[in-house]
Structure 1
């Protein structure tokens, strides 16, 4: 089996190392222990033998992760054939053992330089851990908070500008309305005045006609031939009728300024409230959280009856095979606590079998090449109806009920959490994708879609699972990557395989925090540590593996693998 492992330190994490094996000659077992005196890894059997040999029985042997780091080799300047391995406390310099016998260091106190190195290494490792687990995540969170505030401010100002334009438009409409009414009033006033003047013209037209008539009568009276009129009554002329001049309308202009208009329209101001300081999570809370996570891990291991010495086996052993009736290709596998299987294929057939492979139930679904079903701690099965955008629950008595509706989002993959009994779901809509966390009652409590830089985390989350540390691990075939975020939704890493292409399918994790994922391109199953470090190809074509699709680890730490082109689920033992 091709094997490789990642070390605990960051520098070692960056470079691939050969799989950690026992340092004893001709022993190829897993070196899970370490001799601090010999500086070499040991398997369990060699550790026991190491303690029986007189020359080594008093050596300090610890778990590999608690090992003392070997002092870097540095030659003494005074004695080039010797290595520097002692620290002179008085002179405060590193020296070799021969230097310690020289008169310059007579009666001086010395310390083991390797002890100092180990202590300093641990301190620096602690500081590095603080950067990775406290300072960097908190700083990125603050930056993300600032970016969110900037987006909020932009949206708020756009809203204010829209309101101001609407108010100005409203005022303009009122001005136009009042102006129009005033102009209409001038027309009414003009009409009234012109009608009055017209009536006055009529009065004078009538009076002019009257004067003409009077002139004719007076001419007759003055005629010498008409003597009778001389003795008649003298004609009296009516006085000229009086009329009044119209009072001229006067326009009184309003006296207003730009300031008056500004007061009418309102103004945007910054509040006098004291700015609130951004909340920085105290380091103690992170330490408590880390301890809590470690405690959850220990409790989880106890519940699963896992021994502290459980580790990777040096080889993978086939335990058994199931032939699942009613399915063509095994694309996803869910294992109940009872050991019964749920298997789905490309055609949407979802089949339940017992431990002997006998079909118990068969349901036609809209699922195809996704991890669209999951077994819960209560013994139920949850599965996705992609077309209806509904999540259904099947109880042990075969009763099917509607559980969750996803609205506009199309559900793709689902996983029932063993840590909090909640539900994780990968979803897709209009070219966007996200992961949503639901409570065990189906209430939506978290959405994960973008990283701290605002970039989309997912394209098509085909399979999804959860690790023992709360990480959400998603197999995204369209991104050619396994995308991992922590329980808060912050991006931790993306694993992109070991070759030129990496189209991942089924994904699962085990009680030791390993991530296992199917590689459709190389027909292998990759084994990663929980930080994304490649450990090995746990299954490959050399072991008969072709087109791996579905993966699941049961409560007995057995790996169930389904393959394209067959209805067989193969069970392997890879932990010891």
Structure 2
């Protein structure tokens, strides 16, 4: 390896000498520590250690190449060890394994399925043509006045063209993946520091483009005596070409699984104090925009909704049209903000130019929260104006497609109180609602048809107080994460409602809003501290 582009040694902890040292003393710099020793070392600091601050803070770490502390050393050098070369190499190996063993085979299987559909198309369209000809003998001019038989050839050609386009797109992605695999192998062989440090994973881009296998929804031709209007509708249905994808348990993700960490890590802590209009300001909800930015919603703030980077830079701020706080926020796949407003009973979209468009206006009901499904639909949890009912409705734009509020025994799924409710969709298409009832909070999970799957009312491990579920979200493994407001922790469940663990020892206080980024890092909005934390809880 080229020493100008590499680092040779992993610096050990100065206390235990066994673990790698990602931490260093801000006072003396040379006191390198691992995570396990850091807490103990704080208690051991002496006056002598502090008195040497003015001398030691100017010294430099030992250089692996020139055996000098000289600042003029030209060898590459990582002063704070925030990003470890070894950790980068592990990430590269993981990406390479996923590309070779999972993503590339998936694309290759999709390519292989298209020729099979080509053959099936020919046979099906031959049968359709024969049936259409036979029916045409009976319908004569009525058939010709609605649709021509020759149009089938055009549809057939369009089908083949769409499949060919899909095949070319997949083959192009396979080429890109193969190039990435070759580059990662070369990177692992060379171990060069600078290319390794600058490496950015493209696996998430490949996963986003990895659509399930495309299946054609082919038309049917019904042979029966019909009047002209009926014939028209039948042929309209015939000549509508549509596609659907196979049902899956959710968005594609790494098949290797992401186990929970024994000790989660707080990666970022962001204070939102300067934008409070009074000392009583608080955060209501949070929503991720990719891995770098977040929308937050608050009350008693100068702005109701604000877009931040995780480094604390304010990018954008928006007021609701009603002038009152939003009750919940979500982000579309295009990065546009959606918020529910309980004051004027609306659900609105904030365009990228900050113009606000009202999508849903309720009558007799008030929205309690909103989320975006994997299909782009809106799920709105709401309660009636008389406070006697609550329900969840699915919307395509402003059109209500589905609603559910009772179980199979006719009992209400959700509390009728106008209390806080948060909602999200899991990767298996279950709908999860946190229902903060006055007596006892509950998480209610139904399938996509609205059939009750289970309810969760807290764990015996939380003994500080009653279960108060607020924010709720899910990760790529189908795990459900619920903010327990009163017990200052986050419950982690599997997709069937089994308790897995608590995230409770990271100075959390009144966690209220939750979301998860594309790498399954948990974003927590804390209520009164007006603080946002990014926590890594799985490997």
Higher-Rg structure is 1
